[in-house]
Structure 1
């Protein structure tokens, strides 16, 4: 393996086992397949996290009067009936909603990386990376729904203002097919915000290419890098077998502690490269470790999204 140059392979340390405990890997696979079973409990946890920060979250919806017309779009079940434009709907017997420009400026796309490498938890944490990412996503959906924002999941759920968005998103995620680390950027447009929650340990060129495409669309992103504590400290020593949950690639080190410094340097360089592109695009970027409370990144996202959605897209990074 070429050090940590290829992060898809470097993710082997996520499932690292020592002293012949290779049988732990089937349990990781089983956990990755338990998403549907875990979602109800994660939704409850997300609600608790949302309540923790809700006191400081002020409504941001503005009156539609005086705003510029944006477009007509089909009415989506669950929206308030008062939003229907009956004159336009009468033309062809379909229901339409009149969108105004401010609504388009308040579309928030949410994404959590649910790929196999996220189904990992070391002894230093009490939660899977996947579960923490989902709790953050659902808690944020709950908060945004309370303030009337339009929330969508790229490729899975169109943006819609829905007070029950968290429940509907959880239901949609329970039927997800092959999980992808990064969302398809084709639906992301100007006047929208993207919240991406994952370990961001895919090959660096792949991640940076996605970031540049989203930046070129005129959207703004907020990146949350979710890591298990061992992914920072690399506490392995002696003979250690590493397994990549994405590819099944195995690598054995006779003296794992000899890799620690090189690993830390490459991880720092990987993170710095992402942070630098985010900063130049005017985006926000934060790192969260799963041994810390979920409320911490939620408070940070609350502050950054509040500033963006209240003040518009002008300005630099946060």
Structure 2
């Protein structure tokens, strides 16, 4: 039996307020990760060479010219932004929440902000959902396309199973060039860490893990009985096992050089998230 729903206004903001919040986050992410207050041109300095007749005067390298006594000009080359793929977890565990706004609500808002910020960096952005539904959007620079899938993501189901590791394995051979892949998930897929590490061998990968305060609380428990949201099956575990898996995830990503950030939905995280992207220049990375 399937249960379809939509993120309610009191949880997720109404349409107009959602767009305002997403744009504000996008502006903070875009300009917070810029080296200056001006957008880059995508042109990088390569070298200086001797002046040749016909070279424009504005390209003269005055420092080298003054040092050598002979006219030199600067050479530049164009660099392209990495295409960005957002992998948004739409599985049932993302919608379970002890707070007014679920992990899923936060993930959709962050994904929309990241997409709009990527467009400000002139980076084409696409989407792939990693639950049971199959929503795929090829990377483009279309702002309307981003807003279309953002509003589509407001609809969700309570019975979606996670498919993060499977979707990553399907996506990998489709990436014909180096890409930036941003995963937004609670990482409940037990096989996802290995799949993410394998993907990171050829592409830039960033993982944003969403935590609910109730999940953090069970790490201090003794034995616990729980029900898996995606399958409905009941299982028994120890709180320390939950805590140890989180430690293993963090260490595994660190060894693989994967950018990793945990979002606790109970606490304000926007400032730390902006600093995380800025310090690593994640959205500003270019093709090599």
TM bucket, shorter chain? 0.5 to 0.7
Which residue of structure 2 lines up, in the alignment, with residue 215 of structure 1?
200
Residues 166-315 of structure 1 aligned to structure 2 (within 5 Å) = 166-171=146-151, 173=153, 180-182=162-164, 183-184=167-168, 185-186=171-172, 187-203=174-190, 206-216=191-201, 218-234=202-218, 242-250=226-234, 262-263=238-239, 265-304=240-279, 306=281, 309-310=284-285
Which residue of structure 2 lines up, in the alignment, with residue 48 of structure 1?
24
TM-score for both structures, normalised by structure 2: 0.67
1:154-205 alpha-carbon deviations (Å, 9 max, x no partner): 46111112344531331554688967442433333542111111111221xx
Residues 125-144 of structure 1 aligned to structure 2 (within 5 Å) = 125-144=99-118
C-alpha distance in structure 2 between counterparts of 1:198 and 1:267, whole Å: 16
1:208-247 alpha-carbon deviations (Å, 9 max, x no partner): 231133124x101111110001111229989986332111
Asked if structure 2 preserves the Cα contact closer than 8 Å seen for 1:229 and 1:289, the reply is: yes
Query: Which has the higher mean CA deviation after the structures are superposed, 111-120 or 294-303?
Result: 294-303
Asked if structure 2 preserves the Cα contact closer than 8 Å seen for 1:114 and 1:180, the reply is: yes
Greater share of strand: 2
Gaps of 5+ in 2: 47-76, 129-134
Gaps of 5+ in 1: 1-25, 67-99, 254-258, 314-318
Figure out how many residues of one structure are paired with residues of the other and give that number: 237
C-alpha distance in structure 2 between counterparts of 1:162 and 1:249, whole Å: 41
SS of 2:79 mapped into structure 1: helix
Change (3 A) 1:112 1:101: farther
Residues 31-180 of structure 1 aligned to structure 2 (within 5 Å) = 33-35=5-7, 40=15, 42-58=18-34, 59-63=39-43, 102-103=79-80, 105-122=81-98, 125-154=99-128, 156-171=136-151, 173=153, 180=162
Query: Which has the higher mean CA deviation after the structures are superposed, 111-120 or 288-297?
Result: 288-297
Asked if structure 2 preserves the Cα contact closer than 8 Å seen for 1:199 and 1:226, the reply is: yes
C-alpha distance in structure 2 between counterparts of 1:301 and 1:179, whole Å: 30
Higher relative contact order (CA 8 A, sep 6+): 1
Displacement of 1:36? 9.5
